[in-house]
Structure 1
């Protein structure tokens, strides 16, 4: 702005022109006044610079500053949530950019607060009481963000500051909060809260609610870590609740597997329940919902329901009389209506912007016996109807689920409000996806059913049963989940390398070493008498002390040993540490050997045998060190084992995004080596025993093993730095 030289009628000030570029009206007035009255000695340029004349702060710069301020004050913000002093945050940003537009700064700060904290809870709106209260005993915890493995502490176990404690969450509320017809957060009457708190004793109760229609995968490991971990931190309990509302997809096999795998993962349910345990309660509440005018029996086909929803049109039967819906629902219950000819739908809001408020189905007819409830029922509740009600009936304090269920929160609270039931606190977090794998149960079921893999526990799958069979420990899975952290970012695809890091970290400390040769190449030691056996000590552990006999195992050294075929070349090179004609290597725990002759097949290319001499004095100091296996006794081959090498199941990092995702399967995801040679130490291994095969990776004895032939699955390779070249 610029002064036009005319005085304002107020205080004789100069009027301001719209051409001035000052950062604020006050500075603009000062600038124009000084410009109009400046003497020759006044340094106008310096004054304009100090006032921010011409300075423009971009939206990107403001956003970056806001992100920096939030990162610096993250713990305080998470603790105080919406009671955080926003003015102080604005002040920190303005210190970085004094001339930034205050309105834009406020918008970015508000948006960042929402991204970090989500919707305001009822506790956020409570006024802070001035009366001092005794602070509840708190367990010292840390908020988990995405941390690198190097930053992760083994002590860091239960990161749940993001969830309100009972005394923060369960205040008395008599109002119901709506926005565009959707309930945004839990709000309970005094009577409901008192009844709830009496039932729970003020303890935190969660539930882990898997649907028994398949095996659990690594995404469920994150859900368990949150559901069980929260209650462990807060001295509460977590229900294992089977969400068994679809008898056509459920099997007793899946139910048994889920209970077993929950215990294997280290969690102890407070109680094991089934949604089907509440079928009578759910039915009675559905009748009550009809009586209150909030549900109706509908006869539209699935295609018609889809079309009407897309057009936001009411069903032709939406306004049928309550008495008529009650009669028809009773007929559905008695099996008098054919399957697919009627459903019970909730009368929600067909004009909402939320698709999950478009009169969701509460009950459908299925003439299928239930694996847990038997043949008592021929109508079954939907997830959208049953889930929130059973949460309420079980007095769950925190209903935690992944972000794809966020849009269902409105329906969740709508139904509980319509029935006058207690409302738990709902919070959503990002689901866990891992690269080079599909995680949807539908796709996993397709892989199993169409025999692209060898069952739900195929070691190539990210099912927890598959990971266990592959030799992965539950503690390393939990460490991986803990390291990934809990966020509301919907971009949570984690690189498989990160999981492998945690697997190696544990196995490297806990499993013994052994020597196995995958592709044996015969080496005859010409200067060792045939039939001679030298007993040597090999280390099970790198730091083994000589006085600890249990840390060693015996290996025979004879005139016939076997090395990896890849550890021999006909032509040597400076960067090669394996064996070559005229070159020496050290056989680990044994002696240096030098290749003196190569026996070729008739094709003059295939290597049949290596002749070598060993150095019994060990004065030779070669750079290369090779693993090896020798004959157990003269003329007796080493222990023969089968080894299965597993790799990524899919070639692409995100196969689920591909139209033809099955075409992306990795043809080399499973390689079977039927005749590997192993040291005798492995002969007495039992299923589940884990070993590090030196220079090859970590392996576990598979359940397919028989005494005559042991089968080992590769869990994970060694670090890349351990397996370069042929060293």
Structure 2
């Protein structure tokens, strides 16, 4: 067909109902333009065009039709043009059916049933189902109101009527005029902020986006080459059948950290997605140490990773190491050479960099296969020096994807391996080993962060070249949190954050592919508070003690009062009560006293006080008034001498705050200049109630009116150290400062 001019193509797209913006944007994409032009021609609507509804379906076919079933595309288009398939839901079902069918013969009756052809859902049926779903969820709707997960309600409706028109007609209830309400008081900035922070995360299943293992015959990706036809990577039915026999149809995932450092909270998302998907589907998740670099791996990191995985609440199906497969990987590399897909190269790292930048082949790229086999064996036997040879995959140096520039498969390193010892002096690269081990372990879903998206082509090219089973690959965005950087080593354990809070936070954030998603710190803190509010016992600590002498209480009197560890604790539950001594000397927060009283101040004010320098209050003298029935306007927390003349328990308290002033310090040229000077405050001589004396490392508490705290590792028998986990209320402002 003669090549159409751009204006003619735009006009063609406009005639099928696309708006001008979409039409012009489509023309800018050569691949979509070619597909859509072909679809319009096959549908025979090049002349007068078609309705917008039909045109939208044609556009979807052009962009999403399964490449392994192109032989059936004309049939699908006939169904669309004749209005037998007329909704996105029907088209999605058609694509799924044809993707599974591939190029095999199409049975029209099965196809029509799978796509809901001829099924009509009346408005009355829709209204009835809607009313049933709303009645079933009435209590939740009334309780959560606008926070209810509407998507879940729609899902229940469409489960009953999958072919219903999503654009519901207006019902009688919709058409009723709204009742006029009194104008509500405008929310203050603080009210709005609190609502935004404290709205619970909706209970959704983030794993519904992933297909089942039995669906893995679709085209994974199209690999474009500079000098040969497109490769549409997919499993054959025989491959999938063999895979399903080995796995029993279960989901298999893996969490594959490199044991070259400590984990950070970003790894928590990777754990949640991989272990979480396997758990949700009744499958298995391996903990695989990607130990291909003998220079970096340490047992310390291996132990740390295992500890953190366990702390996060995950139990691996198996613990494996890439080094477990070194022999298999080597044999497959030999096979790759024999097939003409790999060669031994002698370029230096700098020469490879220059040739890649210029899309230039290596001078050794086309050396004889037998020569590469001999040299690769020499590499294996230690007969070639480091940096004098590598094994490279013969991919496409002229590709538009730099991850197809003949990536290195093996390099020489005369370094003993922590597990394999000195058996090897050549080691596989990540790009070579990662995908093969996924296949060897029968991984169904290979899930990784978005920076690996450009590696899809290389991943599937290699598995296709070796005729290996191909897992389903999906990328997600990294977990970035404002006002911090990804810290490692002790994670949040030192400050008392629980795995439950982190996992709940990640579930609420969802599994998004948005690469610029940075989550506000207060969103994480909300989940931390929610968890600690249920699990942390209440206690009292005074950070900056101010002595109060109760003049009308005998100095030998010691009253042991009952205090609740939790607000809703029953008084007859001894485990929920702790004893607080009360004598004639108590200590309050210095900030809870003013020399001059005011109407809006609920702390301790006028009375008698001692002043050592005429300005600083050293001691307050007050009376204990039992006859006063006036309801107090506020409360104070306090710590008393446990017995006359004996100071309360002395503890060290560390107040942690945001590490950086800016929300995204990574954007700054010198992020160290953005450090928050108030990110850590140490109070060495705070007073705590006596019941804290037996606290152990890791124990968590809510210090009344102060926040949530955990016992630090630095604690000794002589002195406890408490780290603040989070404040009682959100102190996060939009600009990154405390309000």
Q: Does 1:670 align with 2:680?
A: yes
- Residue of structure 1 in register with 2:224 after alignment: 179
RMSD: 3.8
Q: Deviation per CA, 1:280-315: give whole Å up to 9, x if none.
A: 111111111112111112222222222211111112
- Residue of structure 2 in register with 1:150 after alignment: 199
- Residue of structure 1 in register with 2:543 after alignment: 518
Give 1:234 deviation, angstroms.
1.7
Match of 1:206, SS state, is strand
Change (3 A) 1:123 1:436: farther
- Contact map agreement 2:312 2:499 (CA 8 A) in 1: yes
Which of 493, 497, 506 is the matching residue for 1:481? 506
Change (3 A) 1:558 1:520: same
Match of 1:387, SS state, is helix
- Residue of structure 2 in register with 1:557 after alignment: 582
User: Could you state the TM-score of these two structures normalised by the residue count of structure 1?
Assistant: 0.74
- Residue of structure 1 in register with 2:99 after alignment: 125
Q: Does 1:273 align with 2:283?
A: no
Provide the C-alpha distance between the structure 2 equivalents of 1:684 and 1:387, rounded to a whole number of angstroms: 49
Provide the C-alpha distance between the structure 2 equivalents of 1:221 and 1:124, rounded to a whole number of angstroms: 37
Give 1:25 deviation, angstroms.
8.8
Give 1:339 deviation, angstroms.
1.9
Q: Does 1:541 align with 2:566?
A: yes
- Contact map agreement 1:142 1:160 (CA 8 A) in 2: no
- Contact map agreement 1:513 1:691 (CA 8 A) in 2: yes
- Contact map agreement 2:557 2:584 (CA 8 A) in 1: yes
Give 1:346 deviation, angstroms.
0.9
Change (3 A) 1:183 1:572: farther
Q: Deviation per CA, 1:643-680: give whole Å up to 9, x if none.
A: 11111222221122222223323332222211111111
Change (3 A) 1:526 1:341: same
- Contact map agreement 2:253 2:285 (CA 8 A) in 1: yes
Change (3 A) 1:690 1:573: same
Match of 2:333, SS state, is helix
Pairs within 5 Å for 1:236-275: 236-275=283-322
Give 1:715 deviation, angstroms.
0.9
Provide the C-alpha distance between the structure 2 equivalents of 1:714 and 1:25, rounded to a whole number of angstroms: 64
List runs of 5+ in structure 2 lacking aligned partners.
1-12, 26-38, 41-49, 67-88, 115-148, 156-195, 733-739
- Residue of structure 2 in register with 1:211 after alignment: 258
- Residue of structure 1 in register with 2:615 after alignment: 605
User: Could you state the TM-score of these two structures normalised by the residue count of structure 2?
Assistant: 0.73
- How many residues in Structure 1 have an aligned counterpart in Structure 2? 591
Change (3 A) 1:568 1:107: farther
Pairs within 5 Å for 1:11-26: none
- Residue of structure 1 in register with 2:644 after alignment: 634
Provide the C-alpha distance between the structure 1 equivalents of 2:96 and 2:344, rounded to a whole number of angstroms: 35
Q: Does 1:375 align with 2:422?
A: yes
Provide the C-alpha distance between the structure 2 equivalents of 1:406 and 1:374, rounded to a whole number of angstroms: 34
- Residue of structure 2 in register with 1:508 after alignment: 533
Change (3 A) 1:558 1:184: farther
Provide the C-alpha distance between the structure 2 equivalents of 1:159 and 1:466, rounded to a whole number of angstroms: 24
- Contact map agreement 1:184 1:409 (CA 8 A) in 2: no
Change (3 A) 1:132 1:210: same
Change (3 A) 1:547 1:424: same
Pairs within 5 Å for 1:312-391: 312-391=359-438
- Contact map agreement 2:558 2:582 (CA 8 A) in 1: yes
- Contact map agreement 1:149 1:483 (CA 8 A) in 2: no
Q: Deviation per CA, 1:160-204: give whole Å up to 9, x if none.
A: 221111222247x9x995434697764123332232122111111
Structure with higher helix content? 2
- Contact map agreement 1:517 1:564 (CA 8 A) in 2: yes
Which of 266, 280, 284 is the matching residue for 2:331? 284
- Contact map agreement 1:296 1:347 (CA 8 A) in 2: yes
Change (3 A) 1:229 1:101: closer
Q: Deviation per CA, 1:570-628: give whole Å up to 9, x if none.
A: 34444332222x2xxxxxxxxxxxxx1222223x2222222222213342433131100
Provide the C-alpha distance between the structure 2 equivalents of 1:380 and 1:553, rounded to a whole number of angstroms: 60
- Contact map agreement 1:123 1:170 (CA 8 A) in 2: no
Provide the C-alpha distance between the structure 2 equivalents of 1:606 and 1:541, rounded to a whole number of angstroms: 36
- Contact map agreement 2:610 2:618 (CA 8 A) in 1: yes
Which of 422, 441, 455 is the matching residue for 1:394? 441
Change (3 A) 1:57 1:279: closer
Provide the C-alpha distance between the structure 2 equivalents of 1:601 and 1:112, rounded to a whole number of angstroms: 81
Q: Deviation per CA, 1:9-57: give whole Å up to 9, x if none.
A: xxxxxxxxxxxxxx99999xxxxxxxxxxxxxxxxxxxxxxxxxxxx98
Deviates more, 1:657-666 or 1:356-365: 657-666
- Residue of structure 2 in register with 1:694 after alignment: 704
Change (3 A) 1:296 1:60: closer
Change (3 A) 1:573 1:379: farther
Change (3 A) 1:106 1:438: farther
- Contact map agreement 1:539 1:552 (CA 8 A) in 2: yes
Change (3 A) 1:315 1:143: farther
Provide the C-alpha distance between the structure 2 equivalents of 1:619 and 1:670, rounded to a whole number of angstroms: 42
- Residue of structure 2 in register with 1:311 after alignment: 358
Give 1:112 deviation, angstroms.
11
- Contact map agreement 1:357 1:411 (CA 8 A) in 2: yes
Change (3 A) 1:654 1:176: closer
Provide the C-alpha distance between the structure 2 equivalents of 1:395 and 1:469, rounded to a whole number of angstroms: 38
- Contact map agreement 1:122 1:187 (CA 8 A) in 2: no
Q: Deviation per CA, 1:467-503: give whole Å up to 9, x if none.
A: 1221111111110010001122112211111111001
- Residue of structure 2 in register with 1:658 after alignment: 668
